[in-house]
Structure 1
Amino acid sequence: MTEEHAGPHGYSGDKAALLGRLRRIEGQVRGLQRMVDEDTYCIDVLTQISAATRALQAVAVGLLEDHLAHCVVDAARAGDPSAKVKEASDAIARLVRS
């Protein structure tokens, strides 16, 4: 972690909720492992993979919203948001490619 990323982040206030969502996604992935182990019909496995992917994307969008609302806004107040905006743009590009 670099110094500019140290300290509380935009999601800090909702950390418990974020961790809960990630734990549910972890459970979904474990369920996928069981499905494969039990030779579940491939379309059913693909459907569950899609659900887990959407859940991860929802977490990512929430984190991005927090970044924009907190980190970028704070940087703008300090007078130079360009680095934080670039970070957000790069993150959006990665999400779009995934």
Structure 2
Amino acid sequence: MVSAVNGYTASKEDLLKRLRRAEGQVRGIARMVEEDKYCIDILTQVSAATKALESVALSLLADHLSHCVAEASAEGGAVAEEKIREANEAIARMVRS
């Protein structure tokens, strides 16, 4: 049976810190728009926030692969197939975005 513990549990505090930082960046971007800042400066900040979220996503994906998918693969069968399908779909969504 696959563990009920999420793969990111060990890095949860780091993930939350990074998400709070990205949240602050997005609030800063909204402030820049409210203050009619220069378009390129806003785009630069959007790019930084996007990269911060991509970093969180890659960390979650790595944890998912090394924990959830690895455990399911050890179990084999339909559980393994489902976890691999989920991981493939998540990767496809990340690549398309």
Same fold, TM-score > 0.5, yes or no: yes
Quote the Cα distance in structure 2 between the aligned partners of 1:17 and 1:60: 13
* Match 2:56 to one of 59, 64, 68: 59
Partner of residue 24, structure 1: 21
The one-letter code of the counterpart of 1:18 is L
Which portions of structure 1, spanning 4 or more consecutive aligned residues, are displaced by more than 3 angstroms?
none
> What is the aligned residue count?
94
State the shift of 1:79 in Å: 1.8
User: Which of 44, 48, 55 in structure 2 is aligned with 1:47?
Assistant: 44
Q: What TM-score do you get using the length of structure 2 for normalisation? A: 0.92
Verify: 1:93 aligned to 2:92, yes or no: yes
Aligned runs of 1:5-20 on 2, under 5 Å?
7-20=4-17
Unaligned residue ranges in structure 1 (runs of 5+): none
- Partner SS state of residue 90, structure 2: helix
Kindly provide the amino acid, as one letter, of the partner of residue 84 in structure 1. K
Q: Which moved more, 1:44-53 or 1:72-81?
A: 72-81
| Structure with more contact order per residue of length (Cα contacts < 8 Å, sep ≥ 6) | 2
The Cα of 1:7 is off from its aligned counterpart by 3.0
Aligned partner letter, 2:46 = I
Residue identity matched to 1:91: A
**Matched AA of 2:27:** R
Offset of 1:23 from its aligned partner? 0.2
The alignment-based identity, stated in percent, is 59
